Structure 1
Amino acid sequence: MAETTVAEVMAELAGLEDPKSRAVNEKHGDDHGVNLGKLRAIAKRLKTQQELARGLWATGDSAARLLALLICRPKAFERAELDTMLREARTPKVHDWLVNYVVKKNPHAEELRLAWSADPDPVVASAGWALTTERVAKRPAGLDLAGLLDVIEARMKDAPERLQWAMNHCLARIGIDHAAYRARAIDIGERLQVLKDYPTAPGCTSPFAPVWIDEMVRRNSGT
């Protein structure tokens, strides 16, 4: 069976372009009009194809890049390649999928976490904080949690939106998962007031850290 080409996939994606999907996506800062369920169906059919994934990424098209992240082999990327990809990923969905579906599974994740967290580009730094949040929740050994809270306390209030969101997530995760730091995490959230007024749909938990922490601790305790 002939291998699928980038041109064939791009033609299929163009045929799935939907103005309503694009309008919804653009409200969230994304720039494609392909329904994500249909995108996942294509990925399921194509299965893992690393070179096709690289070719799709190289097009610069957001829908193609999302598909690339679904069919790639996360462990096959070199550190420098992932660093370049992250700096090219300027829309929220591509950025999030790259970090969550690929970088987190790559053997260079810890090196990239440390490098990105200190990067002057706030979008790159937000990826570093997302990786730190993953470690806070799953592999906290070796992390300086008190030091992370110091940085959050000093910088989160005035951080650009994407970086602020990532730091706030880390703050909440520390409070949820580490009882010894919970009171301080809640206190930082209360004093900084970051995302306190964020519109939250009924039945959803507010991203305001003190509320988020209290709700998740309550759920985890079964009360």
Structure 2
Amino acid sequence: MTFDDLFAQLRALGSEQTRNTYLRHGFGDNTFGVSYAHLGVLKKQFVGRGKDKALATQLARQLWQTGNHDARTLATMIADPQQLAPAEAEAWAAEVRNHALADALAGFVAGTDYAWAKAAEWTEAPGEYAQRLGYALLSRLALPGSTAPDDAFAPYVARIEQRLQAAPNRAKEGMNGALIAIGGRSENLRRQVELAADRIGPVVIDHGDTACQTPAIRPYLAKMWARKAVKA
């Protein structure tokens, strides 16, 4: 498949209803309004056993260069983590201007060999979306299956406690999510996160003209651990 063919497919899959939703979420005007379900279908053409990873990564680079939100989101879904160099990921990160794309790029970088280095770098970076990217990446690294020890996450709990309330809006949201992800890893980290959450107090996020709500950390973790107990 050529880039032109793929970009034409993206354009055709867009809908005005989805585009308006994306606009309300602050994704910017350069979007076709392609649903994540449709993006997932496109992804299957490039990701999986026997697929050409080099071709997928080259198409991802071209998709990113368009500046289109849907194209950039798809780029993060089809690029091969082993073929995109740290400098390229950094260049992509510098152009992120909304929280959804920050989360999508974080999901990609989580699969690279330089994920922890970028988490350390981006969580310290100035700027709302650089920080959002860093904390979204930290959340990914905290998901089940990671072999990282609790000690790798504990310093971030203390740092978030100190910085969350003064952080920019979407960075603050990323920090809140990172605390929840970290608190879901172990009973020890759960206790650390809950005590930090008590000291932080209520977290208020401006979600714009949407119905999104900010999860409260203690109740969310209680539900998370209750589900774990049922599965066990």
Instruction: Please tell me the TM-score bracket, short chain as reference.
Output: 0.7 to 0.9
**Taking structure 1 as reference, are residues 69 and 182 closer, same or farther at Cα in structure 2, changes over 3 Å only?**
closer
Paired letter, 1:159: A
3-state SS in 1 of match to 2:158: helix
Q: Is the 8 A contact 1:78 1:108 kept in 2?
A: no
Question: Relative CO higher for 1 or 2, CA cutoff 8 Å, sep ≥ 6?
Answer: 2
Q: Is the 8 A contact 1:136 1:143 kept in 2?
A: no
Deviation of residue 216 (structure 1)? 1.3
Q: Is the 8 A contact 1:157 1:194 kept in 2?
A: no
3-state SS in 2 of match to 1:177: coil
Mapping for residues 67-82 of structure 1, pairs under 5 Å = 67-82=74-89
* Correspondence for 2:8: 11
3-state SS in 1 of match to 2:202: coil
Deviation of residue 85 (structure 1)? 0.5
Residues 118-156 of structure 1 show CA distances to partners (whole Å, capped at 9, x for unaligned) of 111231122222232333442332735443222122111
User: What is the alpha-carbon distance in structure 2 between the residues aligned to residue 108 and residue 85 of structure 1?
Assistant: 15
User: What is the alpha-carbon distance in structure 2 between the residues aligned to residue 66 and residue 176 of structure 1?
Assistant: 27
Between Structure 1 and Structure 2, how many residues are aligned?
A: 215
Q: Is the 8 A contact 1:198 1:208 kept in 2?
A: no
Matching of residue 110 in structure 1 with residue 116 in structure 2: yes
Residues 69-126 of structure 1 show CA distances to partners (whole Å, capped at 9, x for unaligned) of 22221210111110111111223332212111x2011111122112112111231122
User: What is the alpha-carbon distance in structure 2 between the residues aligned to residue 94 and residue 133 of structure 1?
Assistant: 15
* Correspondence for 1:213: 221
* Correspondence for 2:210: none
Matching of residue 65 in structure 1 with residue 72 in structure 2: yes
**Percent sequence identity over aligned pairs:** 25
3-state SS in 2 of match to 1:75: coil
* Correspondence for 2:23: 26
Alignment equivalent of 2:94, drawn from 87, 90, 94: 87
Normalising to structure 1: TM-score of the pair? 0.83
Normalising to structure 2: TM-score of the pair? 0.80
**Taking structure 1 as reference, are residues 145 and 16 closer, same or farther at Cα in structure 2, changes over 3 Å only?**
closer
Matching of residue 195 in structure 1 with residue 194 in structure 2: no
Q: Is the 8 A contact 2:119 2:135 kept in 1?
A: yes
Matching of residue 126 in structure 1 with residue 123 in structure 2: no
* Correspondence for 1:171: 179
* Correspondence for 2:61: 54
**Taking structure 1 as reference, are residues 136 and 105 closer, same or farther at Cα in structure 2, changes over 3 Å only?**
closer
**Taking structure 1 as reference, are residues 212 and 10 closer, same or farther at Cα in structure 2, changes over 3 Å only?**
same
From the two aligned structures, give the one with the greater helix fraction: 1
Deviation of residue 35 (structure 1)? 2.3
Deviation of residue 26 (structure 1)? 1.8
User: What is the alpha-carbon distance in structure 1 between the residues aligned to residue 114 and residue 93 of structure 2?
Assistant: 13
Q: Is the 8 A contact 2:106 2:140 kept in 1?
A: no
User: What is the alpha-carbon distance in structure 1 between the residues aligned to residue 123 and residue 63 of structure 2?
Assistant: 28
**Taking structure 1 as reference, are residues 10 and 158 closer, same or farther at Cα in structure 2, changes over 3 Å only?**
same
Paired letter, 1:56: L
Alignment equivalent of 1:140, drawn from 140, 145, 148: 148
Q: CA RMSD in A?
A: 2.7
Displacement over 4 Å in runs of 4+ = 196-199
3-state SS in 1 of match to 2:197: helix
User: What is the alpha-carbon distance in structure 2 between the residues aligned to residue 119 and residue 180 of structure 1?
Assistant: 28
User: What is the alpha-carbon distance in structure 2 between the residues aligned to residue 145 and residue 70 of structure 1?
Assistant: 26
Paired letter, 2:218: P
Deviation of residue 196 (structure 1)? 6.9
Structure 1: 5+ residue stretches without partners: 200-204
